[in-house]
Amino acid sequence: MPKVVGLRCRECGAEYELQATHVCEMCFGPLDAVYDKAVLKKIVSRQRIEQGPKSMWRYRDLLADPLAGRRPLLDHRDGPVSHLPCHM
Ligand SMILES: [Zn+2]
């Protein structure tokens, strides 16, 4: 069962089938993924995110990409950054 069931315009609320697009045809607003929360709860948990890599890939299960989880990771060390003291 897919975790992302469609797209919804953030500005006017127009809904679209899941497709490779990012802008609303009605108002040119940005489109957000619409998740099936019941399916998402079975896949994503706080514990699973915390146990993931210390990069953006810890949120991989939230991606709309149907290949997420089956594709090798490309880790460019994006993610949490250490805070350094500032001396002025
Ligand atoms: Zn719209």
At 16 the pLDDT is: 96
Q: Is residue 23 part of a domain?
A: yes
Ligand 1 centre from 17 Cα, in Å? 14
In the chain, the number of structural domains is 1
Q: Is residue 79 part of a domain?
A: no
Q: Is residue 67 part of a domain?
A: no
Q: Is residue 82 part of a domain?
A: no
Q: Is residue 45 part of a domain?
A: yes
Structural domain of residue 9, as residue ranges? 4-62
**What gap in Å lies between CA 3 and CA 26, rounded to an integer?**
25
Nearest to residue 49, comparing CAs of 58, 37, 62?
Answer: 58
Q: Is residue 9 part of a domain?
A: yes
Q: Is residue 87 part of a domain?
A: no
Q: Is residue 70 part of a domain?
A: no
> What's the mean per-residue pLDDT of the chain?
84
Instruction: Return residues with CB closer than 5 A to ligand 1 (ion).
Output: 9, 11-12, 14, 24, 26-27, 29
pLDDT bin (cut points 50, 70, 90) of residue 81 is: low
pLDDT bin (cut points 50, 70, 90) of residue 75 is: low
At 9 the pLDDT is: 98
Ligand 1 centre from 13 Cα, in Å? 6
Tell me the average pLDDT across 44-62. 88
